[in-house]
Structure 1
């Protein structure tokens, strides 16, 4: 892998870690944390699948419209130079994935669950990424199965996810990283992709709710 690609992959993972932390802490003004989202959508008498689908549909609607980030207060400076639209996509999608995992009663602060959440961002390629690292989507997940994921496996998953996101957001596996661009409320416009967000949401539901499972091979 070329040095430029390694550098860009590192930038993507820095942005992803930033977005994940912000999503859990709810520290971006004008947005709920993943915990708050999960709590809101768990209310009511519908079954869990329907509640999760409702969350995904609403995130799709937001990501396909121009006003999603209009409620952000002030300017959010990322600790990494990466285009603001990419950082916003990562934030929207990882916040949704983490909320789905919380609704499935997973500990999203566990690095092993975090790696699975990151894999969901790869969309339809998520199962292949997990399979390549020795994890097969199966039936019901258990705490013991989660604990069986090694640090080496976490690193391998994150590496594959980072490269997949490069191909998703960039051209030929690289991203033209310019100077740091602040994430400003209301400026992203229609940069978010509702279709992509829907796919990511569906993968998160299959991973943390429906099949709710991983089985190390």
Structure 2
């Protein structure tokens, strides 16, 4: 091998570095978004509160979506207020907070419809709703059947290494999307105050797309218990 053809250390290390970032991202999304952290309620707690205030499962689901739509819009507005000056700091915070809220909303919908979000299969299914049509490719790459709904994944006992592949696949796509979304949003959010309104609108549309996907992909389980979060802590 000639000197030019030799692989540099950075070429060898880059895939493992990306893999670590992907794993860290999905771990944090699951930990904060589903399990909760500090004053940030878990998805099971959100589901229980919605169930207590609404007479039917679907009205509770719609309440969760409305509640989180407001939170997502507020997050997008606040992080866009500073315009170009604060964009380098605000953008990563906005994108991460957006996905944490999306994970919690989807997981709460899952709980309300009878799924146990302590199960690894359910947690992976929640992550898959974040990537939309890319979920099919993620499942195929992991060697799992791909379909319009995720109940096949959820009702199976999938080996943990396979679920780790699914989670990493979601993480890779989200990391790639973070960069793309950041570039697309810079012109929209460059102006102070105006950027806040634009950010709120864009984030709300994206969030609604995710929850619509989740409502289709996670139908109510037959014979599901009425009270969400049973078996969850």
- With normalisation by structure 1, the TM-score equals 0.67
2-structure distance, mates of 1:93, 1:11: 20
Q: Say whether 1:88 aligns with 2:114.
A: no
Deviations 1:2-55 (CA, angstroms, capped at 9, x unpaired): 6446524532431331232123443232x3221111112223223x33431331
The aligned residue for residue 225 of structure 2 is none
Contact 1:57 1:198 survives alignment (8 Å): no
| Match of residue 7, structure 1, among 7, 17, 20 | 17
Q: Is the CA contact (8 Å cut-off) linking 1:34 and 1:95 kept in structure 2?
A: yes
Cα distance, 1:140 vs structure 2:
9.3
Aligned mates of 1:54, 1:204 — CA distance in 2: 15
2:113 corresponding residue in structure 1 = 104
Structure 2's unaligned 5+ residue stretches are 1-10, 80-90, 182-195, 223-233
The alpha-carbon distance between structure 1 residues 5 and 138, as it changes in their structure 2 partners (threshold 3 A), is same
Once structures 1 and 2 are overlaid, which stretch shifts more, 98-107 or 4-13? 4-13
CA distance in structure 2 between the partners assigned to 1:170 and 1:5 by the alignment: 17
Rounded to whole Å, the distance in 2 between the matches of 1:151 and 1:137 is 20
Change (3 A) 1:17 1:89: same
Report the counterpart of residue 124 of structure 2 in structure 1: 115
- Structure ID, larger Rg: 2
Deviations 1:165-187 (A, max 9, x none): 12211149xxxxxxxxxxxxxxx
Indicate the residue corresponding to 2:44 in structure 1. Answer: 35
Taking the aligned partners of 1:205 and 1:144, their CA distance within structure 2 comes to 15
Corresponding residue for residue 59 of structure 1: 68
Which runs of structure 2 are paired with 1:10-21 in the superposition (5 Å)?
10-21=20-31
Q: Which moved more, 1:2-11 or 1:33-42?
A: 2-11
CA–CA distance in structure 2, aligned partners of residues 93 and 84 of structure 1 = 14
Equivalences, count:
181
2:186 is matched with which residue? none
Offset at residue 142 of structure 1 (A): 7.7
2:215 counterpart (184, 191, 205): 205
Tell me, what secondary structure is at the counterpart of 1:64? Answer: helix
Contact 2:113 2:220 in 1 (8 A): no
CA distance in 1, matches of 2:149, 2:104: 24
Secondary structure of 1:106 counterpart: coil
CA drift at 1:91: 1.3
Residues 143 and 88 (structure 1), Cα distance of their counterparts in 2 relative to 1, 3 Å cut: closer
Q: CA deviation at 1:163?
A: 1.6
Quote the residue 2:203 is aligned against.
193
